[in-house]
Amino acid sequence: MWQILFYEDHHGKSPALEYINSLPLRDKVKVSNVLRLLEEFGTALAMPHARHIEGKLWELRPGDNRFFYCLQDGKRFVILHGFRKKTMQTPEKEIQTALRRIKELLEK
């Protein structure tokens, strides 16, 4: 089994977890299912559930929602950022937020 953690900022807040909690129940169920798949299959999880973005950055794809994550060490993933995808292309701003959070994790 793989372990899933949620990124926390320097205030101890988890933006991805807050995003999940703000979703309607139907979306929360989809997120829960894809997180369970990530826990079970780890790095073997692929499309349509997960996709490599760049470098250490990966994307979970439950419905219209997207979650960026990275492999921390061993068998641990960190969910970095969540957002609703409204266009075909992932907004660069969302990718930059996730990359900034990876950098913060590496510096700790």
CATH code where residue 53 lies: 3.30.2310.20
Burial of 22 (0-12, 13-18, 19+ CB in 10 A): exposed
pLDDT (tens digit, 9 = 90+) per residue, 47-81?
999 999 999 999 999 999 999 999 998 899 999 99
Domains contained in the chain, number:
1
- Residues 30/40, Cβ–Cβ less than 8 Å: no
Q: Note down the domain range covering 57.
A: 3-107
> Would you say the pTM of this structure is higher than 0.75?
yes
